[in-house]
A and B are shown apart, each in its own frame.
Chain A
Amino acid sequence: MNEKKRDLSVKLGPLELKNPVLAASGTFGYGQEFSHFVDLNLLGGIIVKGISLKPMAGNPPPRIVETPCGMLNAIGLANIGLDNFLKEKLPWLQKMKAAVIVNIYGHSIDEYGAVAAGLKGVEGISAIEVNISCPNVERGGMAFGTDPYVSAQVTEQVLKNSDKPVIVKLSPNVTDIKAVATAVEKAGAHALSLINTLTGMAIDIDARIPKLANVFGGLSGPAIRPVALYMVYQVVRAVHIPVIGMGGIMDYRDALEFLIAGARAIQVGTANFVDKRVTLDIIEGLGRFCEDQEISKIEEIIGTI
């Protein structure tokens, strides 16, 4: 096989990936959990579980429930906190050849800045992904990402405190995702990733209580893929910065839909729970597809619709 015949590398502004397949935040732990099944060096990148300034315990259980072709989760952004991440998790990740992208979030705009500042100058981090779908405690718990102005403020605060490429992860729980996308682009974001989970709920009809202790959660899995794909399609046409697509990608064919819609890379989330090696299967599938279609470089496929 001629390696040149299937160049899977992609460029997303300042970020270069050896292939367009990234493991999505919150579905791949801190990488190590999956290393028994997946040679992480082969991935385009790993996006670690969302990090906040202080450790967070997360929501009471039940935290997950399966729904048709998908699942709802209300983990509550449980994580070990910035200091523990830098001490306990990052040294292992720094040895990986895959891009390590650190997903961050805050409860206030200042906290976003503080987490970004804590990662400044740290080696072995290729980019920061900013989760703006979490509740803003200064605004009664409304998610930052539902307001274009607040989304832009968060983006500016992270950029001001960071020396790394900044990817902003957009919430789909908005009337017009293009408005948030363009506001975040204007604020200086280097790239966008979308979509985060869609808000939903499920009810236990016998007990007449919500199936999640948190009442609502984020819907993911193949159930959301068509919604995600159309949002990616729209955002790609509304902004000039690179877009990373995600939402229910289960195999390389799903991944190709997002690439053809204009995403320059994709993230695999919920599928990791089901098939531990799915990221590698997708990379192999993309390579085979390029060979079969006589495409020398995967970038030739991007945005061809």
Chain B
Amino acid sequence: MIEQNTEIIFNKKVTTDTFLMRLRSPEIAAEARPGQFVMIQARTGVDPLLRRPFSICGIHEDDGFLILYRVVGRGTAIMSKAREGDILSVLGPLGRGFDLPQKGHKALLVAGGIGIAPLIFFAQTIQNSDLIFMAGYGSASEIVPIEQIGLGNVKVLIATDDGTTGYRGLVTEVLESHLAGPYDNIPTVFSCGPLPMLKRVVTITLDRGIPCQVSLEASMACGLGACQGCAVKSSSKKDQPYYHVCKDGPVFDVYTLDWKSI
């Protein structure tokens, strides 16, 4: 975990509103684990004030790391204009990432939209043949070209709401069809995406008793667990009423959270 000024190696548009940025930091690349995140200062003044959290989307030959981001507000709009050679202050890697499956254990990756970012790093890390990667988008134009990220030959099953590419419908329906048949070994589901999708993934996996880890998003200030801003309700009544997404997460085992309150 470090705070440092890093150089932008590239910052390129990959869909109409999504950018892939590579930053130089051997230190962060060496420490980063799938599911962890960095916090980036988008500016040099005081507005926007806070750093923005981004999942690490991959590491590159140990000299840098990638983030994938969608332009949703002022911070990301400023970042989208940054150029090769510009310097950004980065804090990371932060948080608790995914518990990676053991070799031979089946992993189902379920991504929604920009939530694909940490799962790309996941797939890059385990390079496991027992991996099924499914990603949902609104339409074909939103599909992140993951071949540009250097994922090798991992195949991604695409679902689009409008049917312009792949399965027409929700990615959670693709997940359900994969879980329908009998299987020898119970797989683990790893998921990241918009909250309605995550909640559906949680219902599907909890109903079937299938282990599942999800990566959550939250507004954050410090990233260290000090400000307690990014609280999420825990399922435990005794231990700890709230977890903090930045430190206890962003990846949580679904059993540990109180989904009714989320």
Tell me the A residues contacting B by CB distance below 8 Å.
26-29, 33-34, 36-37, 49, 57-66, 68-71, 73, 75, 78, 221-222, 250, 270, 272-277
Contact = CB atoms under 8 A, between A and B. Distances in A.
A70 to B, nearest CB: 6
Classify the interface of chain B: helix, strand, loop or mixed. loop
B91 A75 contact: no
Contacts of B261: 60
Contacts of A57: 241-242
B205 interface: no
B127 interface: no
Given A34-B226, A64-B227, A250-B46, A273 B221 contact: yes
B226 A33 contact: yes
Nearest to B261: A60
Contact of A272 (B46, B222, B233): B222
Interface stretch (B48-56, B100-108, B157-165, B190-198): B48-56
A37 B3 contact: yes
Given A78-B242, A277-B3, A69 B227 contact: no
Contacts of A71: 49-50, 221
Given A65-B219, A272-B222, A75 B227 contact: yes
Contacts of B51: 273-274
B interface, size bucket: 20 to 34
Contact of B227 (A27, A61, A250): A27
Nearest to A63: B229
B226 A222 contact: no
Given A57-B241, A61-B218, A66 B48 contact: yes
B128 to A, nearest CB: 33
B88 to A, nearest CB: 13
B47 A273 contact: no
A136 B10 CA distance: 54
B225 interface: yes
Most A-side CB within 10 Å, residue of B48, B224, B241, B261: B224
19 contacts: A27-B227, A28-B226, A29-B227, A33-B224, A59-B231, A61-B218, A61-B242, A64-B220, A66-B49, A73-B227, A75-B231, A78-B228, A78-B242, A221-B49, A272-B226, A274-B51, A276-B91, A276-B224, A277-B3
Contacts of B224: 29, 33-34, 276
Contacts of B47: 68-69
Interface in B199-250: 218-233, 241-242
Given A69-B46, A221-B49, A26 B227 contact: yes
Interface string B12-54: 0000000000000000000000000000010000111111000
B1 interface: yes
